[in-house]
Chains A and B, each alone.
Chain A
Amino acid sequence: MNSAIPTTADFYRVLPELIWCGFGLLAMLLQPFVRNRYFFTGLAFVGALAGTAGACFAFRSPGAGFYGLIQSDAFSFFFHLLVGTVAVLVVLAAGPYLDRERLPFAEFYALLLFATTGMGVLASAQELLTAFIGLEMSSISSYILAGYRRDSLKASESAMKYFLLGSFATAFFLYGIALVYGATGTTMLDKMVSADASSTLLKLGLSLILIGLGFKVAAAPFQVWTPDVYEGAPTPVTALFSAGPKAAAFALLLRVFATVPAATHFWFWAFWVLAALTMFTGNLGALVQTNIKRLLAYSSIAHAGYILVAFAAVTSMAKGGPAEAAAAYAAVLFYLLGYALVKLGAFTIVSQLGGTGEKNLSLDDYAGLSQRQPVVAAMLSIYLLSLLGLPVTAGFFGKFYIFKAAVNSHLLWLAVLMAVNSVIGSYYYLRVIVVMYMREPSAETASAAPVGFPLTVNVVLAVTAIGTILFGVMPNPVINFILQPTLFGH
């Protein structure tokens, strides 16, 4: 088998990555020749969109590709669509931002597309070293993107922190792969199905992988970088971080723990503790924030905690039967979808309202927003209410499905902790709404002219807000798609 030449189908299976990567390279090559900066926005938009469309071709030739390194299935299709959509929206949201901050266009979009390629690889990797390549590809692009505002001290700090801690985490991940290989003799995930779950070496290896990915998804106690990096990075990049890499890292985590025999007490308690710790760290941290970017950063930690609750459910109820495990996987997928849309929308608004040099990020700058810019305030309220988990938003159904998965597998205490956290969380989301609707602005803020919202940004807001409401009213199509038993192609 190893000597065989890759077939056309194999290339179809990596079509989205090929397109994204190709357009990224194209942007870099054309950079010296094309003066018009908006050309690159258009190029990246077409590239991101074409790659996302390519995911449909990949889905039409399901199965393992390139000798089992990657797997094209419903699961990878879902995540390709997700990270592809995120990329498209970030491209649109970033244009006005780059223009305002006078930052170069071409490199930004190239890096964005490379990062997306990495996320795509992560979503379909069936082999750990391939996954590592995907992780590195998305991470290294992310490090640079975090420090893209070179003149800003905060951005440099952000990039440095992200790079140092991130490479540390990557090392953990790589070492974990080595140990897993030592325990099972393979790096192919599908060959680990029959591995001995009680082997200490395997547990150790998987633990290190979990730490590496835990860093990427900002799970406590590996979350310390999140607020600083989220705050320092250019806001469209923050939007990307909170939606894309997080989803991709969760995708890999899900594929690993859905494949290897993980339904043991060890993993169950690991995820239990991780989930509880992450939820509390995120929510308690967010309570005292006055900077909106930091607040949303802590909220993204909290949401990682909610998602980890579903992981605890997965590892505890693999006993309960594949149908119930499938429900827990679906909960994670749905949650990530709703979460990505909401965070993208919220950060886009934050980016636009921030003004030149991202000055207006304090909660006080949002006082009385509902009177100055009622539509923007209403949009931001929709996102915040979805994060809070109020019905008729996608966030509510995400939370609902996770609650359901937790209760299904008798994780009542974890469900109660999650409920307590939801209440804590509602306080700080509401605080933003309260500030926007009920507080009078300072004289300076009130006299400022309303911030303009260019067309591309409006498109992003419309797509995310409509998506949030649509999936909150009619989750049927999505949930039917992700609830299939052959989600992972086997």
Chain B
Amino acid sequence: MLHGGHLLSVLIFFPAVGAVALMMLRGDDHKYIRTIALIVSAAEFLFSLLMLRAVHVGDAGYRLEEFAHWINQPPINYHLGVDGISLFLVILTTFLTPISVLASWKSIEHRVKEFFVMLLMLEVGVVGVFLSLDLFLFFLFWEVMLIPMALLIGIWGHERRVYAAVKFILYTMAGSIFMLVGIIWLYNATNTFDLPTIQNMLATGLLALPPRTEMLLFLAFFVAFAIKVPLFPLHTWLPDAHVEAPTAGSVMLAGVLLKMGTYGMIRFCLPLFPGASHRATRWVALLAIIGIIYGALVAMVQPNLKKLVAYSSVSHLGFVVLGIFAFHNISMQGAVYQMLAHGVSTGALFLLVGMLYDRRHTFEISEYGGLATPMPKLAAFFLFVALSSLGLPMLNGFVGEYLILLGTYQRHWQWASWAALGVILSACYLLWSYQRVFFGEITKEKNRTLPDVSARERWILVTMAVVTLWMGIGSAFITRRTAADAQAVIDQVEPQRPYEAVAPLRPAQQSTGIAPRIANATTLERPGTR
């Protein structure tokens, strides 16, 4: 079972070691603490890049697996693995963490040590969620991650932070406790918590759930994930959490925590409950489309800039869910891509909004106006990021949305046409808000003398912009690596309808001894370059 060393364990626990080291330090030397947090998280990012060597283009299946017995009764194993889908989500997490550390360099002045400890612990939980192949282990990280996030919101947030933190934790917990019941129920049917084993049992027909049971189990998992995404109408915690969270918290929340929900759908809901997924698909798609349009419309009328970005997340994540539940290889890849793109561009938007807040201590759009004159550089970055978020070709947002719409169109053209409305609306709210904040006359005297980006902020923004651009033009680097695993998920949920263009003939997914599959998955078009 063990091949590839312990890279994944290192990835999970290295930030924890860093956090413990931070805890040992004296609390008053803030510069030292920040530097150590930055070094730890940057090193973690470099470690995570090592995974790239292990995931081969065109091969589906888990890599770098680690397996150890943990608890005998019931048999719970420490089983980790990475595949094309989780690979980039982990890299996104490890990428956004140092960015968050940098973004909190100046804005966190109070209880600095605890802040960075929590940020690193959050990274532990999120990376663990993405790398777990044991249902129980997955649930464990899923729950453990809650506490640092809630504390980040509740201690370092804005005025209504306590309310937002408690709402966040209660929503998530309500979903996850039912997921726990679902996990145990599934264990009763299979006698294992091991994801690859259960997938094997499903593929070989050893496990056949009655339709009603399958549906209930699907719902138990799906609701937990839908709350996290968040899917309309379970999204109400998100605007509160985002608005109240400190900038780093918002970046991590939008950047990676929301993706845990969509990742869960891809990794668990679809492969484990294909029949129920099929039966639920039209309802899920309906909710996703409502979310796309509703999120966009609410974003349009938001007077609060941060809330606007939060609602735009609801809209963008609706695309992801739609792409997943269209059961098409292209839309699935689009969904994975959109998860990454949204992480980068919305993360960048939150960083920019946070920088505005650092200067003016308000999120109200009406307080701004004409900012392009005092701070041209920040305005330029903001425009760049807004354009990527609304899906301008050559930038990252376009690839994901385009792939999702393309794939969805081939299955259900009606869904795609409704969802396309969201693309238009996102242009409306982003450009309109951009106009109100950066163009026009300077109405408030205070805004006249605002300083432009500092060197630290410029480095953050340049990094984000480079990644945005690279993801837009070099998207094939990512899609080539996600293609095979996206197809593997589709094959499990729709074995009777293999992907037309690739037509792979492959046995059921196995956790070990994966034969080379989908040799020509790389022939996929490269929409980013069109």
Contact = CB atoms under 8 A, between A and B. Distances in A.
B449 interface: no
A403 B184 contact: yes
Contacts of A430: 150, 166, 169-170
A133 B83 CA distance: 63
A391 B143 contact: yes
Contacts of B184: 400, 403-404, 407, 415
A404 B169 CA distance: 24
B135 to A, nearest CB: 12
A419 B178 contact: yes
B203 interface: no
Contacts of B143: 390-391, 396
B72 A479 contact: yes
A483 B72 CA distance: 11
B165 interface: yes
Interface in B139-154: 139-140, 143-144, 146-147, 150-151, 154
Contacts, number: 78
A423 B166 contact: no
B220 to A, nearest CB: 10
A462 interface: no
A477 to B, nearest CB: 10
Contacts of B74: 404
Contacts of A371: 111
A427 B180 contact: no
Interface string B46-86: 00000000000000000000000001111000000000000
Contacts of B177: 419, 422-423
Contacts of A412: 181, 185
Contacts of A416: 178, 181
Nearest to A374: B114
B20 to A, nearest CB: 13
A385 B154 CA distance: 16
A437 interface: yes
A476 B78 CA distance: 14
Contacts of A475: 71
A439 interface: yes
Contact of B166 (A392, A403, A434): A434
B518 interface: no
A422 B177 CA distance: 8
A385 B147 contact: yes
Interface in B173-190: 173-174, 177-178, 180-181, 184-185, 187-188
Nearest to B144: A391
B181 A419 contact: yes
Contacts of A458: none
A480 interface: yes
B508 interface: no
A407 B190 CA distance: 13
A434 B154 contact: yes
Contacts of A427: 166, 170
A259 interface: no
A186 interface: no
B181 A407 contact: yes
A60 B247 CA distance: 61
A165 interface: no
Nearest to B171: A423
B328 interface: no
Contact of A438 (B162, B180, B185): B162
A438 B178 contact: no
Interface in A78-109: none
Interface in A393-438: 396, 400, 403-404, 407-408, 412, 415-416, 419, 422-423, 426-427, 430-431, 434, 437-438
Contacts of B147: 385, 390
Which of A407, A415, A431 is packed against the most chain B CB atoms within 10 Å? A407
Interface string A450-484: 00000000000000000000000011100110010
B161 interface: yes
Which of A403, A480, A483 is packed against the most chain B CB atoms within 10 Å? A403
Which of A385, A419, A431, A474 is packed against the most chain B CB atoms within 10 Å? A419
B170 A419 contact: no
Given A385-B147, A404-B74, A419-B177, A438 B155 contact: yes
A144 B328 CA distance: 72
B439 to A, nearest CB: 39
B72 A408 contact: no
A390 B173 CA distance: 10
B170 to A, nearest CB: 6
B174 A423 contact: yes
B240 to A, nearest CB: 15
Contact of A392 (B73, B140, B154): B140
Given A434-B162, A479-B73, A415 B151 contact: no
A437 B72 CA distance: 37
Which of B73, B161, B165, B177 is packed against the most chain A CB atoms within 10 Å? B177
Contacts of B162: 434, 438-439
B155 A426 contact: no
Contacts of B185: 407, 412
Contacts of A434: 154, 162, 165-166
Nearest to B154: A438
B340 to A, nearest CB: 28
A415 B72 contact: no
B145 to A, nearest CB: 10
Contacts of A419: 177-178, 180-181
Interface string A360-402: 0000000000010000000000000100001110001000100
A295 B170 CA distance: 19
B151 A407 contact: no
B155 A476 contact: no
Contact of B170 (A415, A426, A438, A479): A426
A254 to B, nearest CB: 19
Contact of B188 (A396, A407, A476): A407
A480 B72 contact: yes
A120 B111 CA distance: 48
A438 B165 contact: yes
B144 A390 contact: yes
B173 A476 contact: no
Contacts of A390: 143-144, 146-147
A391 B151 contact: no
A426 B165 contact: no
Interface string A251-287: 0000000000000000000000000000000000000
A424 to B, nearest CB: 9
A199 to B, nearest CB: 34
Given A407-B184, A426-B173, A483 B166 contact: no
A173 B71 CA distance: 40
Contacts of A415: 181, 184
Interface in B407-447: none
A320 B170 CA distance: 36
A476 to B, nearest CB: 6
A391 B140 contact: yes
Contact of A480 (B73, B140, B150): B73
A159 to B, nearest CB: 37
Interface of A: 330, 371, 385, 390-392, 396, 400, 403-404, 407-408, 412, 415-416, 419, 422-423, 426-427, 430-431, 434, 437-439, 474-476, 479-480, 483
Given A400-B184, A439-B162, A479-B71, 11 more contacts: A330-B73, A371-B111, A385-B147, A404-B184, A412-B185, A419-B181, A422-B177, A423-B174, A430-B169, A434-B154, A438-B155
Interface of B: 71-74, 111, 139-140, 143-144, 146-147, 150-151, 154-155, 161-162, 165-166, 169-170, 173-174, 177-178, 180-181, 184-185, 187-188
Instruction: Give the 8 A-B CB pairs with smallest separation, nearest first.
Output: A391-B140, A438-B154, A419-B177, A423-B174, A407-B184, A391-B143, A438-B162, A404-B184
13 contacts: A391-B140, A392-B144, A396-B143, A403-B180, A412-B181, A419-B178, A423-B177, A427-B166, A430-B169, A434-B162, A437-B154, A476-B72, A480-B73
